[in-house]
Amino acid sequence: MTDSEDERVARGLRAQFAALAERRAAGAELIGWKIGLNLPAIQRQLGITRPVLGHLTTASLIEPNSTHAIADGVHVGVEPEVAIHLGAAGAIDALGAAIEIIDLDPAIDELEAILAGNVFHRGLVLGAAVADFDVRDLATLETAVSRNGAVAERARFADTGEDPAAAVRLIADRLALVGEELQEGQVIIAGSLTPIVFVEPGDSVEVDLGSLGTLALNVAWPPPSEYAPPERRGR
């Protein structure tokens, strides 16, 4: 008898939460959650019917307009996402813009391993919360990702976005599998609105989410003192 989807997801989440506990013990603070594996084709490949979740902590938070070093990455890219800021009882308090930086390692291709590795999460650039944004305006929201001044990907939220209320329910359902709950003040990034835009050192990236804001990030090699020899960069 094969395991159910919930059983497989729960096993992967328990491994992920063990790693999260280590990060928190080292001083990182949990700030929220990410929706991952939201493409139906990927879900079919992995034998699931709904997206999964990863966690977000202060350890991976990157300031807007700053420089992020990627020499240790395998296949690093950026994704434009809507950030959902939660109030009491899981209510949506505000929306905002976000960039998720992911490191897509093709060697990790099993569901439980992907979950244990925090669903390829590498970093998060978080914009300001827009408290007066009307969720109904998402119907006309457009996003664009520019790389080195040229638009690399563009999409309409109506075509690719996830209803914020449905995103909150999904995260709550997945957390319930391992006895966890959403908390006031947490943030959910609701899945990429465009295909991944892969980046290389020297690139500059800008994500325009219309009235939710614009975020920018520079990509670089680390300073020589922080550079890892090539044999340590492979994973």
Instruction: Residue 227: give its domain's CATH number.
Output: 3.90.850.10
pLDDT averaged over 10-residue windows placed end to end, the chain, 235 residues: 88 98 97 95 94 97 95 93 95 97 94 97 97 93 97 97 96 97 97 96 97 96 51 33
- Count the domains in the chain: 1
pLDDT at 51: 96
pLDDT at 207: 98
Tokens of 43: 């879900």
Of 106, 193, 114, 110, nearest to 155 (Cα)?
A: 193
Question: For 145-169, what is the HEC assignment?
Answer: EEECCEEEEEEEHHHHCCCHHHHHH
Tens digit of each residue's pLDDT (9 = 90 or more) over 69-119: 998 899 999 999 999 999 998 899 999 999 999 999 999 999 999 999 999
Tokens of 225: 């003192």
Contacts of 147 (CB under 8 A, 6+ apart): 197, 199, 203, 204, 205
pLDDT at 223: 59
Q: Which domain holds residue 55?
A: 5-233
At 9, the amino acid letter reads V
